[in-house]
Amino acid sequence: MKRDKAVKKIKTDVIMKHVDLVIEGLANMPKNKQAAGIFVQVLLIATFLSFINDIGLEAEKELGINK
Q: Would you say the pTM of this structure is higher than 0.85?
A: no
Question: N- to C-terminal Cα distance for the chain?
Answer: 19
What type of residue sits at position 36? A
Q: What is the pLDDT of residues 25-59, one digit of tens each?
A: 888 888 898 998 999 999 889 888 988 888 888 77
Domain ranges (residues) in the chain: 2-63
CA 42 – CA 47 distance, rounded (Å): 8
Closest CA relative to residue 10, chosen from 66, 64, 67, 57: 57
What SS3 string covers 15-46? HHHHHHHHHHHHHCCCCCHHHHHHHHHHHHHH
